[in-house]
Amino acid sequence: MENRTAAIYQLLETVMDPEIPTISLVDLGIVTGVEWDDENPHVKLTPTFSGCPALRVMEQLVHEKLKASGFDNPKVSTSFEVAWNSNMISEKGLAALKKHGLAPPPKHAGYIELDVLSDIACPLCDSRNTTMQTPFGPTLCRSMHYCKNCHNAFEAFKPVT
Amino acid sequence: MELTERHVEGLKELLYKMADDLLILGHRNSEWTGLGPVLEEDIAFSSMAQDKLGQSLALYELLHELGENIPDIVAFTRNDNQFHNCHLVEMPIGEYDFSLARHFFFDHADAIRFAMLENSSFEGISMVSRKFRGEIKYHTMHADVWMKQLSHGTEESKARMQSAINAAFPLALGIFEEGEYEAELKEAGIFEGEAALKNQWLEKVNNELKKHGYTLPDADDVTPALGGRKGFHTEHLQPLLNEMSEVFQIDPGADW
């Protein structure tokens, strides 16, 4: 990776997901590339879900960060060129999700079945004695679970292929 | 291969029908928001609505790249005879059994359709199809779980699901109404066609229903609900469009 591109990635590690403020966009795995137009970076993002309403906010946050870092005319765009899947979340990102109280998604091998969704460790007490209540949650990327060990309801970040 | 004018027309026809199906069913699904029989189902239909609207937007953007108007204009300013969705998606939500049967039939068809399109020679379509796969998986899982649950519930739950299946099936066959450019799309490697999709779908839904003791009516014994792809709709679509575009129509130039 070019030095100046690496520097952009480093910069974007400080731009946090608007709905999960512990994880950066880089660790979430949605920054898919940086192209250069002379001195101006063009950052490419990919959506976690097609219908994710936070996407426009993320584009704006990245744009503001680049402007504030001295780039006169940065560009940010979103495309499906690289399709996001939950394996693209970094190790640091998985830990950040847990810190926010969300069970991180298990790594998948390209397909998801119901039993994968039911075998989730509680982010509060780490017990696997949990049950999935529903694969749909308060945002598209979350499912809802219950821990039979510590008796807390919790949310998980969904594995997506 | 070089795309001719007819290929591009076929491509647009394909994109319009897929996008319109998703927009209209997305709207219908959202009508369960606040009304679901249990909280989890309220959230499930609301989430699926959001997925479908996001997917329709991605397809309308592909159409925009092919020279059509911007997505908001396309979605909110057409009348019913300019929409290409099938009748299945425009029917009112009805009782929960009907909404579940529609969900089951439609999402299995969409899962197969987009799996086929992952290999489309048109890059825009293959890219979004790969993206949609992970999302649709959650929709078919949800539908399958309820088909199973209600078959093991009470006699009433099973009987009601069977009659909802019978009612939704002729409508569902309308998904596969052929367009004018099937041969061109196939020749260019864009899409294998509605007939191929329908065969795979029949096998899939038949197997899934049989597992739970339901019966799929014989496709040759029912009259498919055709016409939607060509702009002929039931009386239910225009009121939906009026409601959906109500806010847009108040101030079409509003900047959000």
ipTM score of complex: 0.90
**Residue range B29-44: mean pLDDT, rounded:** 95
Residues A24 and A66 in one domain: yes
Q: Are B11 and B66 in contact (CB under 8 A)?
A: yes
Q: What is the DSSP letter of A45?
A: E
Instruction: Tell me which of A49, A50, A85, A89 to substitute to probe the interface with B (most B C-beta atoms closer than 10 Å).
Output: A50
pLDDT at B39: 92
Backbone dihedral angles phi then psi of residue B126, each to the nearest 5 degrees: -65, -35
Checking if the pLDDT of B70 tops 80, the result is: yes
Question: What is the DSSP secondary-structure string of B193-234?
Answer: -HHHHHHHHHHHHHHHHHHTT--PPPGGGS-----GGGT---
User: What residues are paired with A43 via a beta bridge?
Assistant: A34, A76
Of A160, A34, A26, nearest in space to A93 by CA: A26
Of B75, B68, B103, nearest in space to B205 by CA: B103
Cβ within 8 Å, pair B57-A51 = yes
Of B111, B133, B116, B84, nearest in space to B192 by CA: B116
> What is the spatial distance between Cα A16 and Cα A20, in angstroms, rounded to a whole number?
7
What residue numbers bound the domain in which A51 lies? 3-84
Average predicted confidence (pLDDT) for chain A:
94
Residues A68 and A107 in one domain: no
**How many structural domains is chain A composed of?**
2
Residue A130 belongs to a domain: yes
Residue A140 belongs to a domain: yes
> What is the spatial distance between Cα A135 and Cα B41, in angstroms, rounded to a whole number?
10
Residues A80 and A106 in one domain: no
Cβ within 8 Å, pair A52-B47 = no
Checking if the pLDDT of B256 tops 80, the result is: no
Residues A15 and A70 in one domain: yes
Instruction: Tell me which of A55, A113, A136 to substitute to probe the interface with B (most B C-beta atoms closer than 10 Å).
Output: A136
Residue A91 belongs to a domain: no
Residue A120 belongs to a domain: yes
**Residue range A44-73: mean pLDDT, rounded:** 95
**Residue range B159-167: mean pLDDT, rounded:** 98
Contacts of B35 (CB under 8 A, 6+ apart): B42
B72 touches chain A (CB under 8 A): no
Checking if the pLDDT of B253 tops 90, the result is: no
Residues A11 and A76 in one domain: yes
Read off the pLDDT band of B255 (50, 70, 90). confident
B44 touches chain A (CB under 8 A): yes
Structural domain spans, chain B: 5-250
Residue A93 belongs to a domain: no
CA dihedral B242, B247, B253, B254 (to 10 degrees): -170
Average predicted confidence (pLDDT) for chain B:
96
Residues A63 and A112 in one domain: no
Residues A80 and A105 in one domain: no
pLDDT at A112: 83
Domain endpoint, select from A24, A53, A84: A84
> What is the spatial distance between Cα A147 and Cα A132, in angstroms, rounded to a whole number?
9
Residues A78 and A107 in one domain: no
**Residue range A40-62: mean pLDDT, rounded:** 95
Overall residue count recorded for chain B in this entry: 256
> What is the spatial distance between Cα A160 and Cα B236, in angstroms, rounded to a whole number?
35
**pLDDT tens for residues A76-121?**
999 999 999 999 999 999 999 999 999 999 999 888 887 788 889 9
* β-sheet with A102-103: strand ranges across: A102-103, A153-157, A142-147, A130-134
Residues A72 and A106 in one domain: no
Checking if the pLDDT of B11 tops 80, the result is: yes
pLDDT at A119: 87
Residue A132 belongs to a domain: yes
Residue A90 belongs to a domain: no
Residues A79 and A21 in one domain: yes
**Residue range B243-256: mean pLDDT, rounded:** 89
**pLDDT tens for residues B167-217?**
999 999 999 999 999 999 999 999 999 999 999 999 999 999 999 999 999
* β-sheet with A75-78: strand ranges across: A31-37, A40-45, A75-78
> What is the spatial distance between Cα B51 and Cα B59, in angstroms, rounded to a whole number?
13
Residues A73 and A105 in one domain: no
Read off the pLDDT band of B252 (50, 70, 90). confident
**pLDDT tens for residues A11-39?**
999 999 999 999 999 999 999 999 999 99
Residue A18 belongs to a domain: yes
CA B160 vs. chain centroid, Å, equals 23
Residues A109 and A73 in one domain: no
Reduced to 3 states (helix: H, G, I; strand: E, B; else coil), residue B255 is: coil
From chain A, pick out residues whose CB is under 8 angstroms from the CB of B131: 47, 50, 80, 83-84
What's the CATH architecture for B5-250? Answer: Up-down Bundle (1.20)
**pLDDT tens for residues B93-145?**
999 999 999 999 999 999 999 999 999 999 999 999 999 999 999 999 999 99
